[in-house]
Structure 1
């Protein structure tokens, strides 16, 4: 069965309810604190507090300069770019064992997308900036799974983020131990259908990599597998790719089912493809039949349970 490893997830402290916002308040997010918190270990970070600003504090904004956006206080015009980027450099090194990061949206320090960058004065803003701290972190750790709490309100983006942090945690746990090539082969075997649901081309590439696992230097193999695995899961899983994987699994257990049960499962997969039911419906049947038929290869695929079922992230009918 899939080993449950708790992801370590960095998060803007205000999203967990810490009173560190510019106005002395917080931006507590219900999904993070009431649902995801039961299944992950948080690493709270507030860069404004860590560079010595208080709460409440003067508001900040980004301003254009010949050297790129600068982080400045609105009233006193203090330039905080250097301390903020310096903090990010140190923090990036501390995040080596972190599987993801949830940033505060619309923040000039932590925002990932659409942050206003002002020309100075009260002129119009270009709303395509990144927060100074977030940009420095993502440049230093491009493999890190990142999102902001605003985008996590979208069911598809939420599911993708959570799937990736749990996959990252499982791989981190493997590579942190005294693993052998056979352990990586076993890890990959459990993740094959999950990889296929995201990136069929990467599925074939990683398969070739693992096939030569016993011939490659251990550290080089770990780096290459880590890169390819993360890149594959960063590719969007589509309805069509899910249908392909569901049929792959049906093919592996179909011989153990009677014609009626086989036809029922095929019909449910067709209903998902037609966007009439959520992915959880064919997955529930597939898991049930894989267990009942004793097909361990399918039963143990992480694709069937890539994260705790209690999170209920595959319950939406695709648009």
Structure 2
């Protein structure tokens, strides 16, 4: 069984849009569906709106907009969409991520237009009401929009966060302990360093006296900080730093020629001549021949299945 991830129904090719169509996102059905168990929802259909139907838009205060019919502002769906989002957030508490339809007044996560009395959208962007309800209920859950997933860096970041979120949920289900918390942090050392070396150190200091705190309390603080760090896009500079750290575990095991080849590959990644998958593959090859128990624990070298090919383009 795969990781449960929520998704706007239209992105799976379901004809639930206001015009009776869909917005099929093949990334989901042809790639991610091998590892994710998608839980589709169309909130507009869910609250009883038909297919096809008159379109809706957000109007009024950007911070607290109303969802109304484009042709008749007296038809207001605000309370129903918000309540539906709250209901689904409760029903699907086991989700580890969510993919929303961009620009939607119900599902849009970023840059949704909120129209003003003059007929023009406000300068500030809003958020779809259903998406907003889910975000408020599960603020740490990885969430992304369909359009942004076309960006290789954003796509890799989102999917890696989904797997980390799932990993954490499995830890919680197994029963928290201070020892397990320290082991989790150790396993994510190089992943965290790739996103923010400074924050990795701060998380380590947070856990330094974990034994003096209730495990549930320190775990809650740690997980919130972890997901914030992982939301930061890792750069070539920080990835290179991590690759060089990991390379150090092989310095006494490789020949001079092998060490030089590895150093050259890492440098060519640094200068954007090669994608990340190349130095990662070479490192994994060497550690297969020269196993290291500490490196074998690290999530960094295998944050998600290789078949997703996410590191081939970053």
TM (norm. structure 1) is 0.92
Tell me the equivalent position of 1:22: 18
Query: Shift of residue 119 of structure 1?
Result: 2.0
Tell me the equivalent position of 1:132: 129
Query: Shift of residue 186 of structure 1?
Result: 2.1
Tell me the equivalent position of 2:81: 84
1:202 to 186, 199, 202: 199
Tell me the equivalent position of 1:181: 178
Tell me the distance in 2 between the aligned counterparts of 1:95 and 1:266. 46
Query: Shift of residue 240 of structure 1?
Result: 0.4
- Residues 47-66 of structure 1 mapped to structure 2, 5 A cutoff: 47-65=43-61
Unpaired runs of at least 5, structure 2: none
Tell me the equivalent position of 2:116: 119
Residues 143 and 67 of structure 1: CA distance in aligned 2, closer, same or farther (over 3 Å): closer
- Residues 1-319 of structure 1 mapped to structure 2, 5 A cutoff: 6-65=2-61, 68-77=64-73, 78-120=75-117, 123-126=119-122, 128-316=125-313, 318=314
Query: Shift of residue 66 of structure 1?
Result: 9.3
Instruction: Verify the 8 A CA contact 2:62 2:122 in the aligned structure 1.
Output: no
**CA RMSD, Structure 1 to Structure 2 (Å):** 1.8
**1:126-182 deviations in whole A, cap 9, x for unaligned?**
362221221232233221211111110111111111111011111111111224322
Instruction: Verify the 8 A CA contact 2:59 2:115 in the aligned structure 1.
Output: yes
SS of equivalent residue, structure 1 residue 176: helix
Greater Cα shift, 144-153 or 67-76 = 67-76
SS of equivalent residue, structure 1 residue 147: strand
Query: Shift of residue 291 of structure 1?
Result: 1.9
Query: Shift of residue 65 of structure 1?
Result: 5.0
Tell me the distance in 1 between the aligned counterparts of 2:94 and 2:211. 26
**1:182-208 deviations in whole A, cap 9, x for unaligned?**
222222222111111001122112222
Query: Shift of residue 120 of structure 1?
Result: 4.0
Tell me the distance in 2 between the aligned counterparts of 1:81 and 1:111. 14
Tell me the distance in 1 between the aligned counterparts of 2:178 and 2:288. 28
SS of equivalent residue, structure 2 residue 113: strand
Instruction: Verify the 8 A CA contact 1:291 1:299 in the aligned structure 2.
Output: no
